Amino acid sequence: MQKTNNSKFIFLIILLPLFLTGCYDRFELDNLAYVVAIGVDNGKNNNVNITYQIAVPLKITGENSETGQETYTVYTVSAPSLSVGNTIVNTLVSKEVNLSHVKLILYSEEIAKTEMSGHFNSFMSHTDIRPKVTLAVCEGKAENFLNKVSSTLEVSPARYYELLFSSYNYTSQSVGSELIDFYTASQSKDREPFAIYVKLEENEQGTTEIKPQGIAAFSGSSMKGIIEPELVISHLLLTNDLKKSGYCVKDFNKDDRVISVNLDQMKAPQIKVSTDTDNPKIECNIELVAHLVSSGSNINFYEDDNKKRLEEELNKSLETRIGNYLDKTINEFETDIARIRKICKTQLFNLARF
């Protein structure tokens, strides 16, 4: 009898949550407006202009799918913070704004050169926004950028950003810059943040597509300058991020021709820093594998001398680039985006000495 009563009691308790739940605050996929990119520009009266690029699902899926600017709509609001911006944009859009599919956070160069810490703190505290979302700095205004950008090959703007900003996996012209990495680097004493620098370029078909234009180098949370695309390979080599890339050096038989190789970074770079003198000495040992693709003249690469000469040319070219990159970041911009300082701290016993 006791057992039957217990079972009834437990059954009633299990039933209880079903009656306590409600559906008044349910989320329906159709009732949400999915933001795919957020742009941040300087505004008036200490406000920032936040641009929301929202996907138009009807244009992305089905038979009526389109590419380019038809697949999204853009709203710009002036607000002191992201939360207030969300509130304002929610009054403009018929659906509730949802940030869980944001693929790009874009800062204008102008705002990046000022103190950015307050802004990306609010991005980090939004649990909707993924920590690995791409953070980029653009030439000109972010609002114009998000209004004009279009893609030829991709229907979904979210997928376009996702694929475009992962191109550093197979090129040496672009870097991966994620919000979490940027944020943690800006907080740390042993590293500096960086972001991919992009601009818009009109192609022959008349569409305006994104073109990576190097790296925006930061010190703390303000931008110090831009590393040119040809030096990006040096950054990738030093940070062990070069997956594979095409590369060329001058043909040593004919000055107007080139020898093309494919570079693979097989091992992490060995970087040593000696702090014995006032000027620290950085020694980098980078191991690369070069696969010969083509040469402009008829050089016989079966001969050891030619192979050695090609190796020397490659070494010389890469050494110059890495030297220029380090000179630019350390001496000109006074920043450490190659993250040499974190290697220095491995030689110490406690943080106070660092």
Partner 1 sequence: MHSTLKIGTWEAVATIGCISLIPILLTLPTYAVTDFGTATFLHNVYTTILTLIMLVIILSLYKNFSHMDIVDIAKHVGGKPLQIICGIILISTILILCILTFSEFTQNLQNVLFPDAPQEYISILFGIGILISVFLGIRGIFRTSSIVVPMIAVGFIFMFFVLFNDTDITNFFPVFGNGISNFFSQGFNRIARYEGIFYIFLITPYVKNYKKVGYLSFILSTFFVLPIIFLLVGNIPYPSITENYFPIFELTRLINLGRFIQRVESIFILLWLLATFIYLSLSVYFAIYIFQKIFDLQYSQRLIPCFTTIIMSICTLLNSFEIIIKIRNFFFVHVSTYVLYILPIILLIVANIKRRIECKKLIIQNSSF
- Chain positions contacting partner 1, by CB under 8 A: 6, 10, 13-14, 16-17, 20, 25, 127, 130-132, 162, 180, 183-184, 187-188, 190-191, 342-343, 345-346, 348-354
Q: Quick one: 34 or 183, whose CB is closer to partner 1?
A: 183
Q: Give the three-state DSSP class for 237.
A: helix
In angstroms, the CA 197 to CA 202 distance is 17
Q: Give the three-state DSSP class for 315.
A: helix
CB of 313 to partner 1, least distance (A): 33
Q: Give the three-state DSSP class for 196.
A: strand
Q: Quick one: 179 or 232, whose CB is closer to partner 1?
A: 179
For helices 117-125 and 82-92, the axis angle rounded to 10 degrees is 70
What the block records as the tokens of 65 is: 């799918």
Q: Quick one: 9 or 301, whose CB is closer to partner 1?
A: 9
Q: Quick one: 170 or 354, whose CB is closer to partner 1?
A: 354
CB of 93 to partner 1, least distance (A): 20
Measuring CA to CA, which residue among 28, 44, 23, 38 is closest to residue 72? 38
* Measured torsion, CA atoms of residues 284, 288, 294, 297, in degrees rounded to the nearest 10: 40
Measuring CA to CA, which residue among 219, 50, 37, 223 is closest to residue 137? 223
Please name the residue that has the structure tokens 């039957």.
4
CB of 20 to partner 1, least distance (A): 7
Q: Quick one: 113 or 339, whose CB is closer to partner 1?
A: 339
CB of 259 to partner 1, least distance (A): 33
Q: Quick one: 24 or 302, whose CB is closer to partner 1?
A: 24
CB of 193 to partner 1, least distance (A): 11
CB of 191 to partner 1, least distance (A): 8
Other CB atoms within a 10 A radius of the CB of residue 213 amount to 21
